[in-house]
């Protein structure tokens, strides 16, 4: 979650994350093989997943414990819990002492690799979090504020076990691009050795409830951090088997179909037998499909847990077809269910899932029209062709057409209203962030400006009337 100091760059982080979601490249590396390869069989899909009963991992709710689990659905209890904290060596950032000394150890190790980690924000009290959250809510509205900042009592920062890190030169501070900076890369790779994990990864917003935050690390202690890392789980929610949130996304997901288990079947924290068992689903039970599929494994919900099961032991897999989607479209405006089409630009494999690891259903000849049946995933589209349904790489589709183009729908969905703002006064656009800079032009009151995603000390870089410059955020709504 965001740092406290000067509310720095909240917008930049949020907007760039949203943009990244819509502008992700179409997996060029796999694309080339995708066109020609026709017969790979996925070995994992036939792996027999033995049905061993394993107790579900207990979720720690005691806030004084290092493994306390905190998210929007699991608030701190008591709500105003305040841990004992110490200042991290050489900084005024505070953490619980165990986390602080682990952090210092990590900083030393990174320095040996020539990487200088800066502590940006650590412990935040309930009151401080309330201030922050209210600030974001005022500016962006509550629903958007909730994606970038925690409701007081639900922030990991309140545990004294979470830290936001940065580079010494503030490169990409609290922005998605931080992931590609020296510190972003080093901590993501090595943090777990010191007990820190990246808590809000890319593409997991519907699970964690937060935008991608490559700067936010959670201290779990080294043994739990290592176990988490080895589990292959993408989120702590998945690790504990509670990857179900109260977000709207999930009501969408529940409409993605059902299947029946043909054996006592392990639900795991990830797609593959090397992942931790969340629970064992008895034979002949109906599970809900979330719509995610990977290498022959399906993400399912059963008995209020979410996890992955091998498709080998599922039958009666029913995925709602177009007419059914119409029914469910009433529950969500964000769901794009219009039937769309595109043209293949090569002989193109249709596969059972989004990725070359999935079985080929058929090969669609070049220049054929396919119907797009749902939302894009990692550059792959679910399509229908010649009475069959499956996934194809978007790399080899062109001429997307329909009444409401998919890309627009997606952009509308994922770009926050914060992408444009309205001036509440005649407002000077300046050449830099601050009144000491040259006025580029004056934007009349009530005009819409486009935010570029860069913010500095309360000033926003905006576009207006084909000019780019800085305006004070005080006069934007």
Tokens of 252: 């969408």
Strand partners for 318: 258
How far apart are CB 476 and Zn ion at their closest, in Å? 24
DSSP state of 357: T
**Of the two residues 216 and 301, which places its CB atom closer to Zn ion in the complex?**
216
How far apart are CB 162 and Zn ion at their closest, in Å? 6
18 sits in which H/E element: helix 10-23
Contact present, 315 and 260 (Cβ < 8 Å): yes
Asked if residue 48 has a cis previous peptide bond (ω within 30° of 0), the answer is: no
In the region spanning residues 1 to 20, those forming contacts with Zn ion, defined by CB under 5 A, are: 1
How far apart are CB 10 and Zn ion at their closest, in Å? 11
**Of the two residues 130 and 362, which places its CB atom closer to Zn ion in the complex?**
130
Tokens of 157: 């920062």
In the region spanning residues 259 to 318, those forming contacts with Zn ion, defined by CB under 5 A, are: none
Under rule CB under 5 A, residue 359 binds Zn ion: no
Q: Name the residue among 463, 459, 465 with its Cα closest to residue 432.
A: 459
User: How many residues of this chain interact with Zn ion, rule: CB under 5 A?
Assistant: 3
**Of the two residues 2 and 276, which places its CB atom closer to Zn ion in the complex?**
2
Exactly one of 205, 213, 299, 455 is catalytic; name it: 213
Does the annotation count 205 as an active-site position?
Answer: no
**Of the two residues 216 and 268, which places its CB atom closer to Zn ion in the complex?**
216
In the region spanning residues 203 to 222, those forming contacts with Zn ion, defined by CB under 5 A, are: 216
Contact present, 393 and 380 (Cβ < 8 Å): yes
**Of the two residues 164 and 237, which places its CB atom closer to Zn ion in the complex?**
164
C-alpha distances out from residue 139 to 87, 127, 472, 475, Å: 31, 19, 13, 11
- Output the CA angle 250-80-65, nearest 5 degrees: 75
CA dihedral (35, 39, 44, 45) positive or negative: positive
In the region spanning residues 118 to 147, those forming contacts with Zn ion, defined by CB under 5 A, are: none
In the region spanning residues 145 to 184, those forming contacts with Zn ion, defined by CB under 5 A, are: 164
**Cross-sheet strand order for the sheet of 448-456:** 420-422, 448-456, 459-464, 467-472, 427-430, 439-443
Residues that bind Zn ion (CB under 5 A): 1, 164, 216
Catalytic site positions: 213
């Amino acid at each position: 979650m965001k740092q406290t100091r000067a509310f720095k760059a909240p917008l930049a982080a949020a907007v760039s994350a949203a943009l990244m979601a819509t502008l992700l490249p179409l997996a060029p590396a796999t694309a080339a093989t995708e066109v020609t390869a026709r017969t790979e069989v996925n070995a994992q899909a036939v792996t027999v997943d033995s049905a061993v009963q394993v107790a579900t991992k207990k979720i720690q709710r005691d806030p004084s414990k290092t493994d306390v689990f905190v998210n929007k659905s699991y608030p701190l209890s008591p709500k105003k819990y305040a841990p004992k904290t110490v200042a991290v060596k050489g900084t005024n950032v505070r953490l619980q002492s165990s986390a602080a000394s682990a952090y210092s150890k990590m900083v030393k190790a990174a320095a040996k690799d020539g990487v200088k980690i800066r502590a940006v924000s650590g412990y935040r009290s309930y009151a401080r979090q309330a201030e922050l959250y209210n600030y974001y809510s005022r500016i962006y509205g509550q629903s958007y504020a909730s994606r970038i900042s925690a409701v007081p009592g639900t922030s990991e920062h309140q545990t004294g076990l979470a830290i936001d890190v940065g580079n010494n030169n503030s490169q990409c501070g609290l922005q998605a691009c931080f992931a590609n900076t020296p510190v972003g890369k080093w901590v993501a790779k090595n943090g777990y050795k010191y007990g820190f994990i990246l808590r809000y990864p890319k593409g997991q917003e519907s699970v964690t409830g937060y935008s991608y935050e490559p700067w936010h690390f959670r201290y779990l202690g080294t043994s739990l951090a290592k176990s988490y890392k080895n589990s292959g789980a993408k989120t702590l929610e998945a690790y504990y088997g509670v990857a179900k949130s109260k977000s709207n996304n999930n009501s969408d997901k529940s409409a993605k179909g059902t299947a029946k288990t043909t054996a006592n079947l392990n639900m795991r924290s990830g797609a593959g037998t090397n992942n931790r068992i969340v629970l064992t689903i008895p034979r002949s039970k109906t599970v809900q499909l979330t719509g995610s599929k990977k290498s022959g494994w399906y993400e399912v919900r059963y008995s209020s847990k979410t996890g992955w099961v091998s498709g080998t032991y599922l039958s009666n897999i029913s995925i709602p077809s177009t007419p059914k989607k119409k029914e469910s479209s009433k529950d969500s405006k964000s769901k794009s269910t219009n039937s769309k089409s595109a043209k293949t630009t090569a002989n193109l494999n249709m596969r059972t899932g989004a990725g070359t690891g999935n079985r080929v259903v058929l090969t669609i000849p070049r220049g054929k029209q396919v119907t797009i049946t749902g939302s894009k995933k990692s550059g792959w589209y679910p399509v229908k062709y010649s009475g069959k349904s499956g996934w194809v790489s978007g790399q080899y589709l062109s001429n997307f057409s329909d009444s409401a183009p998919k890309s627009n729908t997606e952009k509308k969905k994922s770009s926050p209203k914060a992408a444009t703002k309205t001036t509440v006064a005649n407002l000077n656009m300046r050449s830099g962030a601050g009144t000491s800079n040259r006025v580029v032009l004056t934007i009349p009151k009530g005009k819409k400006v486009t935010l570029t995603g860069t913010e500095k000390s309360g000033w926003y870089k905006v576009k207006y009337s084909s000019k780019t410059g800085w305006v004070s955020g005080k006069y934007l709504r």
